[in-house]
Chains A and B, each alone.
Chain A
Amino acid sequence: GNSVTQMEGPVTLSEEAFLTINCTYTATGYPSLFWYVQYPGEGLQLLLKATKADDKGSNKGFEATYRKETTSFHLEKGSVQVSDSAVYFCALSDRSNTNAGKSTFGDGTTLTVKP
């Protein structure tokens, strides 16, 4: 079956520090990969995605590259801000017709950025 393993948290950084949150996956097919972000009291929202090997997803200064050879999709940001404090989820979706659009999520990594 499919699974996603992401770096355990919590992660605490100072403002302007470099961020990496590791994510590796196991999939039976050729999945699409996602990072979602959840701010306090809200639902998850898509941060970025990649649909094929070597694709780089990017949004709001965050980036992640689909690495098929290492089955990884690590999230990075060069300079974090206090407003980036949130929970980050790595996820995959098998694009087979029988999947009904389902996704598999990692357990989430809590990021706190201190001024």
Chain B
Amino acid sequence: DAGITQSPRHKVTETGTPVTLRCHQTENHRYMYWYRQDPGHGLRLIHYSYGVKDTDKGEVSDGYSVSRSKTEDFLLTLESATSSQTSVYFCAISKGTSGSNEQFFGPGTRLTVL
């Protein structure tokens, strides 16, 4: 267990509203990731971070932004939510040691955009 929590766990919002999801880790690992999981698409990487204030885009970054002002927190923001962003969002960390790079996942946030 890498001590990863996500908040909120469930959220219902309306189209056009901003939404921020939070990922918190307790072990100060360098690498953090945001994924979305949709039926038929597996896991798709939205954004990732390789350190404080160091972030980069994943394969499905349009409509999303991220921030990492502290090692332990990685925020995902939907600037203006759309129905296509209804999904389950997972945060993950990698311990970043040389070797295998396995990832550890949070419990997920189920977001519904009406």
Contacts and interface: CB of A to CB of B under 8 A. Distances in A.
Given A89-B42, A89-B43, A100 B56 contact: yes
Contacts of A102: 33, 45, 48, 94, 101
Interface stretch (B12-20, B65-73, B102-110): B102-110
Interface residues of B, number: 27
Interface string A13-48: 000000000000000000010100000011111100
A81 interface: no
Contacts of A43: 90, 92, 105-108
B99 A100 contact: no
Given A43-B108, A100-B48, A32 B42 contact: no
Interface in A36-84: 41-46, 49, 51
B8 interface: no
Interface residues of A, number: 22
Interface string A78-107: 000000000001000101000111110111
A34 B108 CA distance: 20
